Amino acid sequence: MENTRGYEVKSRVEDKYEKIVKLAKRRGFFWNSYEIYGGLGGFITLGPLGVLLRNNIIEKWRRVFIHPHQEFIVEIDSPIISPEKVFVASGHVDHFTDYVVECKRCGRNYRADHLIEEATSLTGLEKLTPNDLTKIIIENNVTCPECGGPLSEVKTFNLLFKTTIGPYSGNIGYARPETAQGMFVNFNRIYQIMRRKLPLGIAQIGRVLRNEISPRQGPIRLREFTIMEIELFYDPKNPSCKYIDKVLEEKLRLITGENVVKGDKTPIEVTVRQAVENKMILNEWNAYFMALSKKFLEELGVPAEKQVFIEKLPEERAHYAAQTYDQLVYVERWGWVEVSGHAYRTDYDLKQHTEYSGKDLRAQRRLEIPKVVKTVEVKPLLGRIVKDFGKSVVSPLLDYLNTADKEKIVEVLRKSGELKVAVNDKCISIPASYFQLNEKMERIEYEKFFPHVAEPSFGVERLFYITLEYSYTEKGNRIVLRIPRDLAPIKVGVLPIVEKKDLVEKATEIYNVLLSQGFEVIFDSEGSIGRRYARLDEIGVPFAITIDRDTLENNTVTIRDRDTWQQVRVPVDKVSNILMKAFKEPGKSLFEIIKT
């Protein structure tokens, strides 16, 4: 199974992607950003229907991944911009890179590995160096796909968006390429809020930026997009997932790293139980989230046979991961594309941020047998400190002493003879003589450790596009967007059969009732009823309510089902209950719902 990367459509027949793009522009789902200025690659604007669909996908993700686990998974919202030190600590400054090659004739830039894959039959280029890629380009006579010009040597390109914070050029910041670091730097705060209990999940949904070299896949590869992530912190001595029993018999289609190395990318179907017992998936939490992810994609309309999890090889994995599975979904134009990543991040991030910040980000576990050890207490001589350094230093100093690793503080004072404290953007050095070190014997009932982390991460815009592709159907000469009912941007259309005053008034009354009950409703009285049904089908409205002369006589309306085009007559006072049942039980047909 290979991932196709062809970007140009060679056939004159429109493929599904082109049809969706035309529909999306016409009906207000999405379009290229800044189109009046010629557009800008890697950015899209969501229209009115696109925003509603995106929000519904996010809410479904919350219902699947957060709400059932809210006693230990909580959501935060951290800034998009971070100081440079955060991404130095995380490793992104050094490792978050791709390889770029430039056309010497027209000046266009391309991602080197993708360009080579498009021009040759070669794959598996992630482990190669810039020199290796340059050699392949020369040996295979790879040229610019736009003008046919010769290519430069391959160079490393960092994908972080760089900026400055405030008016100082030296105060460097970066736009986050993931939301994860916001969870790691705030781990200790949330850990205390959640009463120092593990497992602890911190979730975040937000915008991220990646300075992609040459994004050319519409919503699939963007420079600015939305990520939904969870960092699940757990004790490595107690790694079991208490929810794993719920998914043990769930089947996953896996392509293991072992098989990838053998050149076999045929998926194998195994249960979660088998995957965990045979160490195909290294920990239960990642396995649990992978099972949830499969079900989540099915609820977006993607059948199980169109999903697969492929394990990344060591040279392909991010620097922080001990194991990563990508969840792929098949799309018509690009083949298998990644929609989520499932990384076992071990304790890498918390260790790095502890080292670079000087703050202790360890958790604690109770010892089975308490022990007595010799410790050193660091006591600041506050009177002398205030006299010589001012009152402003006291609060940040005490905060540092209370949160930093005590052993490290003692080590720093003894080795360097001073302690550095940040006060109002300035670094103040306080000599060791301003501190008293008192040795004492202490009974220890807890030990500290760095939690391990399981991470599921989803790109919202890719899910958004995939939902559109899997819902796009044609019935005769009509487009029917069969978006799952609960995801549909507009849930109900209210249509007076003709634009007569008494029918419009009755339709408006029904419209307002449905609106007050929380349904997303559209009112349409213009054009023939057939054209209006077609418009609703194109934007994925599951149900249409038609008001006609019989409505005025016997207070009944017709409900039309988008997917079957079947129509049933029901009393007006039962419409709301029928619709509520239909959205709560999306697997049932309209006739089944009415019978119950």
Give the CATH number for residue 139: 3.30.40.230
Residues shown for the chain: 596
Domain boundary residue among 447, 478, 506?
Answer: 447
Give the predicted TM-score (pTM) of the model.
Answer: 0.88
* Residue 355 confidence (pLDDT): 92
What lies within 8 Å, CB to CB, of 84 at 6+ separation is: 93, 172, 173, 174
**Helical (H) or strand (E) element with 492:** strand 492-496
Domain annotation covers residue 480: no
The backbone torsions φ and ψ at residue 351, rounded to the nearest 5 degrees and listed phi first, read -65, -45
The CATH number assigned to the domain holding 504 equals 3.40.50.800
Domain annotation covers residue 163: no
Domain annotation covers residue 385: yes
pLDDT digits (tens, 9 = 90+) for 317-346: 988 999 999 999 999 999 999 999 999 999
* Residue 268 confidence (pLDDT): 97
Inter-residue contact 304 to 298 (CB < 8 Å): yes
Inter-residue contact 294 to 252 (CB < 8 Å): yes
Domain annotation covers residue 339: no
| Single-letter code of the amino acid located at 465 | Y
Residues of the chain with pLDDT under 50: 1-11
Say how far apart CA 386 and CA 388 lie, in whole Å: 6
* Residue 527 confidence (pLDDT): 93
Domain boundary residue among 139, 158, 177?
Answer: 158
Domain annotation covers residue 533: yes
Q: Which residue range(s) make up the domain with 512?
A: 490-595
Nearest of 257, 87, 271 to residue 181 by alpha carbon: 87
Do both 518 and 569 map to the same domain?
yes
Do both 431 and 501 map to the same domain?
no
The CATH number assigned to the domain holding 380 equals 3.30.720
- The gap between the terminal CA atoms of the chain, to the nearest Å, is 45
* Residue 12 confidence (pLDDT): 59
Domain annotation covers residue 223: no
Do both 375 and 436 map to the same domain?
yes
Structure tokens at 228: 């939904």
Domain boundary residue among 158, 173, 191?
Answer: 158
Inter-residue contact 579 to 568 (CB < 8 Å): no
Do both 417 and 510 map to the same domain?
no
Domain annotation covers residue 424: yes
Do both 439 and 525 map to the same domain?
no
Give the total number of structural domains in the chain: 3
* Residue 1 confidence (pLDDT): 45
Domain annotation covers residue 513: yes
**10, 187, 328, 339, 564 from 312: Cα distances, Å:** 31, 27, 12, 14, 42
Do both 591 and 539 map to the same domain?
yes
